[in-house]
Amino acid sequence: MKRVSAIIVMSLELLIATACSKNGHEKYDDEDDGSDTTGVVVTPDDPSLASSIGFFMDAWTPKNFTQPSYTEVTPPTATTFVVNVDASAVVTKISPALFGNNSNPYMTQMVTEPVLIGHLTNMHPRIIRFPGGNISSIYFWNRQPGNPPPDAPANLLNAEGFQIDPGYWYGGNTANWTLSVSNYYNMLQQTGNEGIITVNYGYARYSTAADPVAAAAHLAADWVRYDNGRTRYWEIGNESNGTWQAGYRIDVSQNKDGQPEIINGQLYGRHYKVFADSMCKAAAETGKTIYIGAQLLEHEPAFWATATDRQWNTGVLQQTGAVSDYFIVHSYFTPYNTNSNPQEVLASAAPVTKAIFDHVSSSIAGNGTAMKPIALTEWNIFAVGSQQMVSQVAGMHAVMVWGELMKNKYGMAARWDLANAWDNGNDHGLFSQGEQVTGETKWSPRPAFYYQYFMQKFLGDRCINASVSDSNANINAYASTFSSGEVSVTLVNRAAMTQNVALSFKNFNPGARYYWYVLTGGEGSTGFSRKVFVNDDGPESIAGGPGNYSSLKAYAANTGNGVKIALPPMSVVNLVVDKK
């Protein structure tokens, strides 16, 4: 649907600066004709591979930019801020595993849903986690419904010590509302993505077998054998430190190997080694290599945190630091169950991403362990009450998180999740499940889908530095280069007003043209909007984005007078500049 309200034309021109101050914060000279910027461009060397990325870079391949179909627009003439793009050094090659997502066993068999399969193929997150979340602690991948292992007790203990029905889940369940193990693999094959699998660690705690850890490790190893090399990345458990997790507290009267009632990091670490040994032997039988992650906490526990949390990282690292393949963290960025406003949501992306990396690094170093790849296997926002999770602000936040993950050299990330439950808009799902109250059709993409799709569409394969001339501009800039030579810049305008910027380049000579997509909320909204417009094209219904997103034309302009762009209020612009 074309937006009919008046919109300031989005456009770009090449900024040519004659002289740069040492900090690169000079204002753009609108009178400069660009004649002094052409110079010799030197291809920078790739830096050494960061240990925090490691083997997650193995699937990296060069990206060549393909000129899109476009609509010519007239660029603006005046700008207020400069975005300095420095192609003289590569920060890092971009891990192909940063744009993952989470599936779950309550979102249908997936392969029976052609609309969903089409969107996942187009978005191409590369990594899709399974079974994900707390369900993994009560998940028996090779069992049929109602048929748990004989050593799985009929009741478990919750954190307060009360008996509860565990509600076990089964990988052999072929009902239409759930996702079986076999169809998880079928979905990956059909969409061209790969998996990361979370094995049931909780079973090692609550099993009544003579050796519960061996029983749980054997279950995991059998999954590795069944997998037969299709999955490279594996996790031992999900948030096993959490009071909400099956296995946090066990009935010691039923336990046969003397485990403590409450989980702790040392115990998890010792168990991790048993799991890893069994799973690696299983992988060796298939002649395949797998990587197994251990769980860490992403921030310093508060003074009121459980004893388990306060000692978790130290215990895990002392046991697994030398043997684990990578470290796992989760984050939901904003304060729990809080009605955060748009600016509070957006303000969390950069500092929290860096704080997680810094805390994990400090924990690793403080325990005499070498850095390993870092995987953020669940992330989203906890903001509730104003439909934040299904809004365009959630998409803007996601773009910023991906930019910060690149800059901070994470190895892997998977957003939570592909589909969930509406809950009056407190829904992490990237796609609607078509609940009548939402007004959405089944598998309609939420705004965040479009922000991911267009960011990836115009993202290069190497991250480079970009900075904004005024730190008070409320603009975030993320830049990359393609192996074919073009420069990509993603701009996030967090301000409630239009802001015009010009791009200045170092070690890059722009070619004749540049192209971009601009994403804004419904009818210019600076609050939480369930709609997103892409180059003024939006949804026909109450929410979502343009139905023709995969064929939508880019905007384009000639670089003869510089690269400038008008950033609408609360917008994201993804652009690529031709090489000379």
* One pLDDT digit (tens) per residue for the chain, 580 residues: 544 433 333 333 333 333 233 333 333 333 333 333 468 999 999 999 999 999 999 999 999 999 999 999 998 999 999 999 999 999 999 999 999 999 999 999 999 999 999 999 999 999 999 998 999 999 999 999 999 999 999 999 999 999 999 999 999 999 999 999 999 999 999 999 999 999 999 999 999 999 999 999 999 999 999 999 999 999 999 999 999 999 999 999 999 999 999 999 999 999 999 999 999 999 999 999 999 999 999 999 999 999 999 999 999 999 999 999 999 999 999 999 999 999 999 999 999 999 999 999 999 999 999 999 999 999 999 999 999 999 999 999 999 999 999 999 999 999 999 999 999 999 999 999 999 999 999 999 999 999 999 999 999 999 999 999 999 999 999 999 999 999 999 999 999 999 999 999 999 999 999 999 999 998 767 899 999 999 999 999 999 999 999 999 999 999 999 999 999 999 999 999 999 9
Which secondary-structure segment (H or E) carries 319? helix 312-320
Alpha-carbon radius of gyration of the chain: 25
Q: Tokens representing 424? A: 């009056």
Q: Would you say 412 and 95 are in contact if contact means Cβ atoms under 8 Å apart? A: yes
pLDDT number for residue 126: 98
Return d(Cα 516, Cα 10) in angstroms, integer: 9
Return d(Cα 491, Cα 415) in angstroms, integer: 21
Return d(Cα 181, Cα 351) in angstroms, integer: 37
Residue 246 φ/ψ, nearest 5 degrees: -60, 125
pLDDT number for residue 526: 85
Quickly list DSSP for 180-204. -HHHHHHHHHHHT-EEEEEE--THH
Which secondary-structure segment (H or E) carries 328? strand 326-331
Q: How far is CA 5 from CA 493, 500, 516, 537, 539, in A?
A: 20, 20, 20, 11, 14
Instruction: Give the chain's length.
Output: 580
Residue 214 φ/ψ, nearest 5 degrees: -65, -40
H helix and E strand count, the chain = 11, 25
CATH hierarchy code of domain 14-42+74-93+461-579? 2.60.40.1180
Q: Tokens representing 348? A: 């969390």
Whether the bond between 417 and the residue before it is cis, its omega within 30 degrees of 0, is: yes
Q: Tokens representing 331? A: 């984050």
pLDDT number for residue 423: 97
Euclidean distance between the first and final Cα of the chain, in Å? Answer: 36
Return d(Cα 580, Cα 560) in angstroms, integer: 12
HEC secondary structure over 390-452: HCHHHHHHHHHHHHHHHHCCCCEEEECCCCCCCHHHCCCCCECCCCHHHCCCCCCECHHHHHH
Residue 533's contacts (CB-CB under 8 Å, 6 or more residues apart) are 3, 519, 520, 521, 522, 545, 546
Q: Tokens representing 358? A: 């810094």
pLDDT number for residue 38: 60
Q: Which residue has the tokens 């997680």?
A: 356
Instruction: Quote the distance between the C-alpha of residue 63 and its chain's center.
Output: 20
Return d(Cα 236, Cα 291) in angstroms, integer: 11
Return d(Cα 314, Cα 138) in angstroms, integer: 26
Which secondary-structure segment (H or E) carries 505? strand 499-506
Instruction: Quote the distance between the C-alpha of residue 431 and its chain's center.
Output: 15
In terms of Cβ atoms closer than 10 Å to its own Cβ (0-12, 13-18, 19+), residue 420 is buried
pLDDT number for residue 1: 53
Domain coordinates of the chain in residue numbers?
Answer: 14-42+74-93+461-579, 95-104+127-324
Going by C-alpha positions, the residue among 362, 367, 359, 365 that lies closest to residue 266 is 367
Q: Tokens representing 120? A: 């996942």
Bridge partner list, 84: 467, 504
Whether the bond between 125 and the residue before it is cis, its omega within 30 degrees of 0, is: no
Q: How far is CA 355 from CA 173, 197, 227, 358, 364, in A?
A: 40, 26, 35, 5, 14
Return d(Cα 560, Cα 450) in angstroms, integer: 30
Q: Tokens representing 400? A: 């910023």
